Amino acid sequence: MKAIIGLGNPEVKYRLTRHNTGFLVMDEILKAKNITLCDKFNSFFAKENDILYLLPKTYMNLSGRAVIELMNFYKLTNKDILVIYDDATIDLGIIRMRSKGSFGGHNGIKSIINCIGTNAFDRLKIGVGPIGNIPIDNYVLSNFSKEELEKILKIGKAAINLVDYWVKEGFEKTQTKFNGRIL
């Protein structure tokens, strides 16, 4: 069993912000697969065969609470999850896959690390940068421009292949095939 987790904030006012990139990408994946979400694990949740989809409703800074609840219920290990989220240090549209690392200033990732007790879990980082000369908090909570949003939604559609590949082939092959690409 594998879990795909998109990070974001559940309120409508955050819907099109850079910090909701994980939700936006997951929305495209779920639409393409015609998957409907329900409320479970303090999240928007779906299960399709052996694949779990999770969008925590805990707000970004407490994402780990929903993730650990899902992992405990399904007896998942840190090797069974893929977390999709924004990274303001990477240019818009470029993706990076990592299998471990620090939280890099991202409070959603910090929460997950703290709750699951390890920094070793697969990540799909979606570039939303460059930041420019504004504070990071203001930047990630600002809305995408129309052109930027179109690019993120295109990434969401392309991420379907990446996620399917990760489920079947694992992290290393997926990283080799997709890392650093603009989807």
**Could you report the per-residue pLDDT of 22-67, keeping only the tens digit for each?**
999 999 999 999 999 999 999 999 999 999 999 999 999 999 999 9
Residues in the chain: 183
pLDDT classification of 131: cutoffs 50, 70, 90: confident
pLDDT tens digits for range 15-33:
999 999 999 999 999 999 9
Mean pLDDT of 157-165: 94
Active-site entry in 19, 65, 98, 125:
19
Percent of the chain with pLDDT over 70: 98
Rg (CA), the chain: 15
pLDDT tens digits for range 134-147:
999 999 999 999 99
Enumerate domains of the chain plus CATH numbers. Answer: 2-178 (3.40.50.1470)
Strand partners, 83: 5, 123
Burial class (CB in 10 A: 0-12, 13-18, 19+), 120: middle
Query: Nearest CA to 54 among 62, 63, 45?
Result: 45
What single-letter DSSP state applies at residue 36?
A: P
pLDDT tens digits for range 81-127:
999 999 999 999 899 999 999 999 999 999 999 999 999 999 999 99
The per-residue pLDDT of the chain, averaged, comes to: 95
Tell me if 23 sits within 8 A of 126, measured CB to CB.
Answer: no
Write down the pTM of the prediction. Answer: 0.96
Position 93, amino acid = G
**76 contacts: CB under 8 Å, gap ≥ 6:** 1, 3, 52, 70
pLDDT classification of 183: cutoffs 50, 70, 90: low
pLDDT(14) > 70:
yes
Name the 3-class secondary structure at 59. Answer: coil
Active-site residue, 106 included = no
